[in-house]
Amino acid sequence: MEPLGIDREFEELKQNVRELLNFNTFQYKNTYLGRRFASRLRALHIDTYHAYWEILKNDRAEQEKLLEELTINVTEFFRDAPVWSFLQQDVIPTILREKQGKIRIWSAGSSDGKEAYSMAMLFANALQEKNLIGRVEIIGTDIDRDCLTHASAGKYISRPGIIQTDIKKQLSFIVGPERFFDISNDGYQVKSGLKDIVRFEYHDLISGTKKHHFDLILCRNVVIYFTRELQEVLYKDFYEGLNPGGLFVMGKTETLVGASREWFIPYNIKEKIFRKKRENER
């Protein structure tokens, strides 16, 4: 039996979850929350939001499972290959040519770190792995502390028996992944040389301190879950977080909204890459 629709019980659950877990449910789309709540109701074989709340409020394990459900991320190395091809062939050479000092990159909503490490590998290739530490700094942020711990460790373990068909396939985007990983039968460990230019930290896009001075920001498939009002706020934060002429990469299903459409110039519409306007372009 399907859970009740978007009604009084749903709104009460949103409010209760917000207070119990300190997770701001009111800034997410109801359709997104409905799918996540429904997943937990099915797992527990119950059919009302009220019944779910009676379990949730006293069950710490279920609270952790719901938080995991609400912050779930689908991630892989070089996810959406055409985007990474364009970054490799155009964006990175352009940044290296135009930026003389340290290049700063932000992977917002970085989950288990694969996006940040993917970017690090491309810069390592472009620089032939020379002077990486002094030239490139990549920051990955997320609100899921377990993901951040995983990302910082840089150890990626596949399900038994399929390691050579999933992570290996993802890393086929680059030549010689063994340069960046210690590869064993049960996983891939990021080598220290690559880890030296990537760091991970907790950051709440909604209520966290603002970040600045980036040459490239990637926030893909994150803001799509937020309300339009919050999307506008976040796009402004990304705009202000970029250096003049800096680039912003968003998810293929996402789009600029409101005033943000006046702040950025399309750099590659197909791959959803935009450039921050410079002073003389406003």
Residues of the chain with CATH 3.40.50.150: 81-281
Task: Give the integer Cα–Cα distance in Å for 3 and 47.
Answer: 5
Tens of pLDDT, residue by residue over 35-87, are 889 989 999 999 899 999 999 999 999 998 898 888 766 688 999 999 999 99
Q: Cα separation of 135 and 126, whole Å?
A: 12
pLDDT (tens digit per residue) in 196-225: 999 999 999 988 899 999 999 999 988 888
Domain 81-281 sits in CATH 3.40.50.150? yes
HEC sequence for 118-135: HHHHHHHHHCCCCCHHHH
Mean pLDDT throughout 135-162?
A: 84
Q: In this structure, are residues 201 and 108 in contact, taking their beta carbons and an 8 Å threshold?
A: no
* 36, HSE (Cβ side, Cα atoms, 13 Å): 22
The model's pTM is 0.81
pLDDT in tens, 117-142: 999 999 999 998 777 888 999 999 99
User: Amino acid letter at 180?
Assistant: F
At 201, give phi and psi (nearest 5°). Answer: -150, 155
Facing residues of 28 across strands?
226
Q: Are strands 214-219 and 103-108 parallel, antiparallel or unpaired?
A: parallel
Please tell me the predicted confidence (pLDDT) of residue 175.
78
Answer yes or no: is pLDDT of 281 > 70: no
**Per-residue pLDDT reduced to its tens digit, 241-263:** 999 999 999 999 899 999 999 99
Partnered with residue 139 across adjacent β-strands are 106, 199
Task: Please report the pLDDT score of residue 158 as a whole number.
Answer: 59
Burial of residue 19 (CB within 10 Å: 0-12, 13-18, 19+) is exposed
| Phi then psi dihedrals of residue 265, to 5 deg | -110, 135
**Residue 163, pLDDT above cutoff 70:** no
Half-sphere exposure of 24 (CA within 13 A, CB side): 12
